[in-house]
Structure 1
Amino acid sequence: MHENLVQFDQYLGFLAFLTILTIGFWLMIFLLTFVVPYWLGGNLLEMWKERKAAKRAARNE
């Protein structure tokens, strides 16, 4: 009977490992799909606005 408890604990540990691994996998997919392109797009837009403002300031001087 004691062997069943050890096997059940190992089973719970394996389930916890799979859960953490799966959460990490889907978090990585989410970050690569949504967050990184949003961050890059925002940075590119800000760079474009700064260059446009610099050209406008140079033209007005």
Structure 2
Amino acid sequence: MFDFDQYLGFLAFLAILTLGFWLMIFLITFVIPYWIGGALMERFKEKREEKRAKREAAVH
């Protein structure tokens, strides 16, 4: 059915496909939510500091 070279090529294709699949699963489930969550937390901190600065400026 397969020559040895075709068999190795098929195994290489399956390995690359599998690695790509698990990389996408990892990125979608861990990296991207972590990145978005960190950006949102940083934005909330900046807005909180901005409000605090305005409040202190109004008091003084």
The alignment-based identity, stated in percent, is 68
Deviation digits for residues 30-52 of structure 1 (CA, Å, limit 9, x no counterpart) = 00000000000000000000000
TM-score, length basis structure 2: 0.90
| Alignment RMSD | 1.0
Matches within 5 A, 1:30-41: 30-41=26-37
Please state whether the residue corresponding to 2:3 is helix, strand or coil: helix
| Structure 2 unaligned blocks of 5 or more | none
| In 2, Cα distance between equivalents of 1:15 and 1:45 | 44
| In 2, Cα distance between equivalents of 1:37 and 1:26 | 16
TM-score, length basis structure 1: 0.88
Verify: 1:16 aligned to 2:12, yes or no.
yes
| Structure 1 unaligned blocks of 5 or more | 1-5
Number of residue equivalences: 56
Q: Who is 2:21 aligned against?
A: 25
Moved over 4 A (4+): none
